[in-house]
Amino acid sequence: MITHTGGCHCGRVAFEVIAPARVTVTECNCSICSKSGYLHLIVPRSRFKLVSGADVLTTYQFNTRVAKHLFCSVCGVKAFYIPRSHPEGYSVNARCLNEGTVEQMTIVPSDGKNWEKTYATGRGKPLD
Ligand SMILES: [Zn+2]
């Protein structure tokens, strides 16, 4: 496990996330992820730290309103958010990680479009 850094485009939102150097991320086909091209690196809250930008984050919610989509209100980039599959953790946008620490990125598809079928319990697998 190492510390990766990342953030939004304008730089106001910055975070640190503890994850392996070789990460496995998910590409979801649901209505919002497919439009933004989001790549999920989902971690427990204890492995995520917001370094700056709490004051510029805007929350967007829809449907079940479990997920809290957090956008930078200045540049519009969603660098991380609270996902419906794991509201006890954070989903970091792997596309918003800074260069230099990720040795390998494996992208696994996730069928979020068919949520009830993919997540029969209503949630993703527990985070370690
Ligand atoms: Zn920004």
CA of 122 to the centre of ligand 1 (A): 31
**Confidence at residue 47, expressed as pLDDT on a 0 to 100 scale:** 97
Query: pTM higher than 0.85, yes or no?
Result: yes
CA of 78 to the centre of ligand 1 (A): 9
Query: Between 62 and 13, whose confidence is greater?
Result: 13
**Confidence at residue 23, expressed as pLDDT on a 0 to 100 scale:** 97
pLDDT band at 5 (very low <50, low <70, confident <90, very high): very high
**Confidence at residue 117, expressed as pLDDT on a 0 to 100 scale:** 84
CA of 6 to the centre of ligand 1 (A): 11
Question: How do 22-28 and 104-110 pair as beta strands?
Answer: parallel
**Confidence at residue 111, expressed as pLDDT on a 0 to 100 scale:** 85
For residue range 84-127, list pLDDT tens digits in order: 888 999 999 999 999 999 999 999 998 888 878 888 787 888 88
CA of 119 to the centre of ligand 1 (A): 32
CA of 93 to the centre of ligand 1 (A): 14
For residue range 18-67, list pLDDT tens digits in order: 999 999 999 999 999 999 999 999 999 999 999 999 999 999 998 888 88
CA of 88 to the centre of ligand 1 (A): 24
**Confidence at residue 112, expressed as pLDDT on a 0 to 100 scale:** 84
CA of 116 to the centre of ligand 1 (A): 33
CA of 126 to the centre of ligand 1 (A): 30
